Amino acid sequence: MSVLGTPRRSQPRQLHPGAWWCWALGLAAAATRTHNVLLLGLILAVAGYVVVSRRTEAPWARAFGVFLKLGLAVLAFRVVAQVVFGVAQGDTLLFTLPEADLPDWVAGVTIGGAVTLESVVAALADGLRLATILACVGAANALANPKRLLASLPAALYEVGVAVVVALSFAPAMMTSVRQIRAARRLRGRADRGVRSLISVGMPVLEDALERSIALAAAMDSRGYGRRAAVPAATRRLTAGLTLAGLLAMCFGVYGVLDAQSPLWLGVPVLVVGLVAAAVALRLGGRRAVRTRYRPDPWAAPERLAAGCGLVAAVAAFVGAWLDPGAMTPSAVPLTAPALPLVPTLGLLVALLPAWLTPPPVLPAPPMTGPSARVGRDAPTPADTERVRA
């Protein structure tokens, strides 16, 4: 309650960036378990709808379109590579390319030859899966604020996060400095194009970059950056061992998840063990970092909902691959029409819920138009009033 007795309204806020990444990685994990073009198209539709519903006007919000274009390029490259260099599968002949004779030391590689419908469809499904994974990463980049995400890193990764923030802000700051220096040269009647102008602009830009670096170093030093807490040597050795073991286990686990021919224990169980070991290592390594956070991003019910929806989509895809592997990976030889399996489809529909059940994006207020804006513009300012009195 406020002082006047009226209820206090909740302030609008952005969802935790980690929640959006968990949601997007869940969709990407679901895409890795299928070659069904209908399911992959549904994943793209879910990701696109949530991005359109919950993205802001920030510059990184355009990342989804960029990743979609990159995915289309990957899809086209995969199909062209199959047509030119791939081995024909199936009997449905589409056309025949001129075939080149290759030496014996490149046996197994073909250039040209027969192109069949089955091989093109298999390449299309494989390329669409890669494009869908890229689109999921683009959705996370479009929805999550990268600076807030780096600020939310564990304490053990604090210094790495600061270095990444500085690296991300260096290029925009340098381009701003170049524009300002070129504008100043134009105002003085000097040339701002050509090789000589680039040489003359380079020195002021370098000086400005050095000044920013010195100011940043002073600000970091005044805030106690680089302080270390006293941690026993045994804890440091345990942290290093758990980090190495966790990274190796995650590498083997990811390989087992992506490779359908690997044994069952090499996939999800090893990946979970690696994630647990890495989490414990980060927890122990965070004891050395001494820092405070200003207004940390909350992890409340909307964040748990978004992350949980992504997890549901991933688990449903794994369950669908176990229950009906033929529906998740339709056969290309002989060519069969894909169908929507029930469990993965329900999981993807659950992943659509963050479009409505998460806080709406914080958008800038539109400019005032009409008579009210004119009145506000024409109203006398305090400086005008003082001038009239004088």
CA atoms of 24 and 17, how far apart (whole Å): 11
Q: Sorting pLDDT into bands at 50, 70 and 90, what band is 76?
A: very high
Higher confidence at residue 40 or residue 240?
Answer: 40
Instruction: Tell me the pLDDT of the chain averaged across its residues.
Output: 78
CA atoms of 256 and 274, how far apart (whole Å): 13
Is the backbone of residue 189 left (phi > 0), alpha (psi -120 to 50) or beta?
left
Residue 31 has a pLDDT of 93
Nearest CA-CA partner of 390 in 243, 251, 197, 382? 382
Lowest mean pLDDT among 159-163, 219-223, 374-378: 374-378
CA atoms of 249 and 111, how far apart (whole Å): 39
Containing H/E element for 96?
Answer: strand 93-97
103-151 confidence digits (pLDDT tens): 766 666 677 778 888 888 888 999 999 999 999 999 998 888 877 777 6
Query: CA 237, 240, 242, 245 torsion: positive or negative?
Result: negative
Nearest CA-CA partner of 224 in 283, 149, 292, 160? 292
Q: How many helices (H) and strands (E) does the chain have?
A: 15, 2
Backbone angles phi, psi at 381, to 5 degrees: -90, 165
Could you say which of 166, 200, 226 is where a domain stops? 226
CA atoms of 378 and 83, how far apart (whole Å): 68
Residues 252 and 193 reside in one and the same domain = no
Residues 179 and 218 reside in one and the same domain = yes
Q: CA-based diameter of the chain, in Å?
A: 98
Q: Sorting pLDDT into bands at 50, 70 and 90, what band is 388?
A: very low
Q: Sorting pLDDT into bands at 50, 70 and 90, what band is 23?
A: very high
Answer yes or no: is 198 within a domain.
yes
Answer yes or no: is 273 within a domain.
yes
CA atoms of 320 and 255, how far apart (whole Å): 20
In which domain, by residue range, is 315 found? 12-146+296-362
Provide the domain count of the chain: 3
Is 291 a residue whose pLDDT tops 80? no
Residue 309 token pair = 């929806």
Q: Is the preceding peptide bond at 334 cis, omega within 30 degrees of 0?
A: yes
Residue 90 token pair = 């199936």
Residue 219 token pair = 């600000």
Answer yes or no: is 50 within a domain.
yes
Residue 375 has a pLDDT of 45
Residues 161 and 208 reside in one and the same domain = yes
Could you say which of 278, 294, 310 is where a domain stops? 294
Answer yes or no: is 251 within a domain.
yes
Residues 136 and 16 reside in one and the same domain = yes
Nearest CA-CA partner of 29 in 271, 323, 311, 324? 311
Residues 271 and 246 reside in one and the same domain = yes
